[in-house]
Amino acid sequence: MAYSDKVVDHFNNPRNMGSFNKDEEGVGTGMVGAPECGDVMKLQIKVQNDRIVDAKFKTFGCGSAIASSSLATEWLKGKTLEEAERIKNTDIVQELNLPPVKIHCSVLAEDAIKAALADYQKKAGSKTGTGSTGTGSVQ
């Protein structure tokens, strides 16, 4: 199958590939997928004052899965938690021109964003004891 130029670009030059220490303060980690399904995404955000100041990913999966997560980190950086919540898989499909058979890669990326946000909220909540940081509910 032919990949779109944007998928190829993200695959060859992945943005923000790597990891944060998941125990570091302000870091939220989302890990979704399963090895037997052929794709696992780890997406991490670093949050300061309710704003995502950095993001990283690691992905086991096809080129479209790698591109979806690379794009997600690019989009996440600089967004508030609330804005990050609003990233939809369909935005990723559109940006990367994903064919129907690859839509699940974008769904996985959206799930990874949601999981990272939830992990951050949970960590922040358990630290302050207030339960929520007041940036809106996660799922």
Partner 1 sequence: MKLPIFLDNHSTTPMDPRVLEAMLPYFVEKFGNAASRNHVFGWEAEEAVEQARKLIAKLINADAKEIVFTSGATESDNLALKGVLEMYREKGTHIITSSTEHRAVLDTAKSLEAKGLATVTYLPVDKYGMVNPDDVRNAITDKTILISIMLANNEIGTINPVHEIGKIAKAKGVLFHCDATQGVGKIPVDVQAMGIDLMSFSAHKIYGPKGVGALYVRKKNPRVRLVPQMDGGGHERGMRSGTLPVPLIVGFGKACELCGSEMATEAPRIAAMRDRLQSAIMSTLEETYLNGHPTERLPGNLNISFAYVEGESLLMGMKDIALSSGSACTSATLEPSYVLRALGVGTELAHSSIRFGLGRFNTDEEIDYAIKKVIEVVTRLREMSPLYEMAKEGIDLKSVQWAAH
> What x-and-dash track marks residues 35-74 binding partner 1 by CB under 8 A?
xxxxxxxx---------------xxxxxx-xx--------
Our finding on whether 11 is near partner 1 (CB under 8 A) is: yes
Pick one of 9, 80, 91, 107: the residue that binds partner 1 (CB under 8 A).
Answer: 107
Give the shortest CB-32-to-partner 1 separation in angstroms.
5
Give the shortest CB-132-to-partner 1 separation in angstroms.
22
Site size toward partner 1, by CB under 8 A: 31
Pick one of 15, 68, 109, 111: the residue that binds partner 1 (CB under 8 A).
Answer: 111
Check if 37 is active-site: yes
Largest CA distance in the chain: 50
> What x-and-dash track marks residues 18-37 binding partner 1 by CB under 8 A?
-x-----------xxxxxxx
SS3 of the chain: the string is: CCCCHHHHHHHHCCCCECCCCCCCCCEEEEEEEEHHHCEEEEEEEEEECCEEEEEEEEEECCHHHHHHHHHHHHHHCCCEHHHHHCCCHHHHHHHHCCCHHHHHHHHHHHHHHHHHHHHHHHHHHHHHCCCCCCCCCCC
> What x-and-dash track marks residues 113-132 binding partner 1 by CB under 8 A?
--x-----------------
Q: Say if residues 76 and 108 touch (Cβ distance below 8 Å).
A: no
| Residues with active-site annotation | 37, 105
